[in-house]
């Protein structure tokens, strides 16, 4: 492992530059987007008390609408609740 010594003033200047860059990035790109009404596969399986394979079948047969972002599938909370209502099950 290699170590490099720098002045305290140079370190403080570098730290300040990084903090300014981080602030600029947050202003331009914001924080990680949150989608509170979108559920992951695991959440839906737990709520519906089904396996991942059954959830896949629901997607394949359009029983439960989904949104795909990249390689991940998300489900609208209201769609999951509607499926629960339709099947007369209670939310866990």
Q: Is residue 12 part of a domain?
A: no
pLDDT digits (tens, 9 = 90+) for 7-44: 999 999 999 999 999 998 888 887 666 667 899 999 99
Instruction: Report if residue 54 sits inside a domain.
Output: yes
Beta bridge partners of 23: none
Environment class of 79 (CB within 10 Å of its CB; exposed 0-12, middle 13-18, buried 19+): middle
For residue 81, what pLDDT is reported?
Answer: 93
Show the domain range for 62.
36-88
Residue 47 lies in a domain: yes
The whole model's pTM is what?
0.58
Q: What is the pLDDT of residue 33?
A: 60
- Report if residue 14 sits inside a domain: no
CATH code where residue 61 lies: 1.10.1660.10
Q: Does 92 have pLDDT greater than 70?
A: no
Residue 58 domain-assigned? yes
Q: Give the phi and the psi of residue 39 in degrees, each rounded to 5.
A: -110, 145
């Amino acid at each position: 492992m290699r170590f490099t010594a720098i002045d305290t003033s140079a370190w403080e200047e570098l730290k300040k530059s990084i903090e300014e860059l981080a602030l600029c990035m947050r202003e331009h790109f914001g924080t990680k987007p949150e989608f509170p009404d979108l559920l992951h596969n695991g959440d839906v399986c737990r709520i519906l008390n089904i396996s991942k394979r059954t959830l896949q079948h629901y997607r394949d047969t359009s029983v439960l609408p989904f949104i795909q972002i990249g390689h991940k599938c998300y489900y609208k909370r209201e769609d999951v609740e509607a499926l629960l209502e339709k099947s007369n099950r209670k939310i866990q």
